[in-house]
Chains A and B, each alone.
Chain A
Amino acid sequence: MGATLAALIFVVPLVGLLWRAPWSSMWSTISSHDARTALRLSLTTSIASTAIAIVLGVPLAWVQAYVDYPGRRVVRAMTLLPMVLPPVVGGIALLLALGKRGLVGQYLDHAGVHLPFHVGGAILAETFVAMPFLVLTVEAAFRSADPRYQDAARTLGASRLHVFRRVTLPMIRPSLLAGAVLCWARALGEFGATITFAGNTQGKTQTLPLFVYIKLEEGNTDAAIVLSLVLLAISLAVLVSLRDRWLSAL
């Protein structure tokens, strides 16, 4: 009984979404100028934040997996915090740290770097919320990779850097891909931190989830539903692509 109810909690809202979907006007809604702008912005910012997460997150995962330093547990807790933190809190924290009069932001502002209410802010907010998925997945992969393969590579003349590039990285590739896809999906759906830190400026920081919310507020339910379906389709595609790795990689 409980199990049926639990399953229904997941299923019923999706059915509701599909039931109300205005299939006939779908294409015109998706191809409207505003929707296309939001979609393009969402793709750009989510891909950018995934790229940042890979470039910065893989080294972090490597250090967390292999280097034993004091405070490692604290750093781990901090890097995973955004996964459980309400995104709006993350947005406020980012604003206080990197806003115009923030802890670091005041210096950035002097230097001409403006994050809040700019594309950069949206990217940063998405990175903050999504990067833990990548770090967690990749760190687990580094931990479970047999270190003896790295030994073997070194006896074949490979320096530490080459061992990383030619042996360790290929070994963890499936997990890196899974982590990147999870990270990207999370970034694409980001709402709370983005609207709090980056605002809701059309063409600059109004990503697809924000656009959906605004349409609903304006009473344009059809547009909200259609674009929700777009996000749903993307999420389903992610799930299918990760079918086998979802649990094993995490």
Chain B
Amino acid sequence: MTVEARIRGTRGTFAFTADLCVGDGEILAVLGPNGAGKTTLLRAIAGLLPIDEGRITIDGTVVDDPAAEVFVPPERRPVGVVFQDCLLFEHLSALDNVAFGLREQGARRADARNRARALLAEVGAQDWADVRPHALSGGQAQRVALARALATEPRLLLLDEPLAALDVQTRAETRRQLRLILERFRGARILVTHDPVDALALADRILILERGEVVQTGTPDEITSRPRSQYVAELVGVNLYRGTADGDHVQVGDAVLTATGTHTGPVMMIIPPNAVVLHRARPTGSARNAWPGTVVALEHLGARGRVRVRVVGPLTIVAEITPAAVAELALTEGTEVWAAVKATEVEVFPA
């Protein structure tokens, strides 16, 4: 199956243009800053927001085409949605939240509950079946929301900022879980996020949306190695490496880094620039990954009030630090520094 969307729309003064195509078994990440129109795009595909112009096709069936006066309401689209903040129904237990869609499809209560129990087990949430949503942690609610969206066996799964509400510690763990679950789901998946790490770690293909327009699409490799604009470069300016893992160690070129979690064989590794700390001397703190290098470029990010520092060494890395830190370390091109990253900040996933 494939999903094709050509969407033209206006919301107030905001004009929106997006074409996208996602195939069976593919994960497409829609990446962009807040207000870029990501959620608008997702709501249009789900049928929660009729489009002004264009056409949305799911699996060959036109679901929205204002010119032809076709509009299939959300309840009749083969689409499952994992919403930001999960939006679990507070008056129902986790189990009955998952059973909700099955009941709507006409399943008997007992059958729906049995199936829901199996789904909760699939996402590792069977222990919380009888718990009300308010008593679930962010990560737990996330899994229940995923099970609920998958219960109706949608052919297209939409995920709206599924990790945004989680704290840093839970995020990495939930991202790993999410990746495993998404891999088992057979249909097409569209993931909306403002976090480049989510997009790079989870998607086969990335579509970058800025002010309601698609500015670039490509594989994570293509996007990070050949960003087509300064904006994209800044947005996905994460450190992405290919390496080989052995337990919690990852070999990248001559460098060996420590990460959390266990992997074997070829992997991708992501280090967010704002997780890199620069020192003038070898750091003695808790960071387990530290290596020397030379500053080759300093670049001010006006909008964010940060400075990007490119350090060449055994592992070439970009750090994003404050202007105050640049001044304190007296960084200029040619300065010798140590770059340090905590193991918990190193994201590793199978290549």
Told that A155-B80, A171-B91 touch, could you supply 8 new A-B pairs with CB distance under 8 A? A149-B87, A149-B89, A151-B48, A154-B73, A155-B46, A156-B104, A156-B149, A157-B101
- Partner of A154 from B74, B92, B105, B151 at Cβ < 8 Å: B74
**Which residues on the B side are within 8 Å of A154 (C-beta)?**
47-48, 73-75
Q: Which positions in A face B, CB cutoff 8 Å?
A: 146, 148-149, 151-159, 162, 166-167, 170-171, 173
For B101, give its contact among A146, A148, A149, A156 (CB under 8 Å).
Answer: A156
Do the beta carbons of A157 and B87 come within 8 Å of each other? no
CB neighbours (8 Å) of A171 from chain B are 89-91
Q: Mark B134-152, 1 if CB is under 8 A from A, else 0.
A: 0000000000000011011
Pairwise interchain contact B74-A166, C-beta atoms closer than 8 A: no
What band does the interface of chain B fall in when counting residues whose beta carbon is under 8 Å from A? 20 to 34
Residue B338 interfacial (CB < 8 Å): no
Q: How far is the CA of A159 from the CA of B75 in the complex (A)?
A: 6
B18-57 contacts to A (CB < 8 Å): 43, 46-48
CB-based nearest A residue for B88: A152
A-B contact count (CB 8 A): 62
Q: Is the CB of A167 within 8 A of B75?
A: no
Contacts of B76 in A (CB 8 A): 157
Q: How far is the CB of A87 from chain B (nearest CB, A)?
A: 37
Nearest to B81 among chain A residues (CB) is: A155
Bound CA–CA A146/B83 (angstroms): 13
The answer to whether the Cβ of B79 comes within 8 Å of any Cβ in the partner chain is yes
In the complex the two chains form, is B83's CB within 8 Å of A157's CB? no
Report the minimum CB–CB distance from A207 to chain B (whole Å): 36
| Contact A167–B89 (Cβ < 8 Å) | yes
In contact, A152 and B87 (Cβ under 8 angstroms)? yes
| A158 pairs with B75, CB closer than 8 A | yes
Chain A residues near B90: list those with CB within 8 A.
171
Q: How far is the CB of B152 from the nearest CB of chain A, in Å?
A: 6
Q: CB distance B81 to A162 under 8 Å?
A: no
**Distance in Å: Cβ of A146 to nearest Cβ of chain B:** 8
List, in ascending order, chain A residues with CB within 8 A of B83's CB. 148, 151-152
Q: From the candidates A148, A151, A153, A159, name the one contacting B100 in the complex (CB within 8 A).
A: A153
How far, in angstroms, from A153 to B75 measured CA to CA in the complex? 8
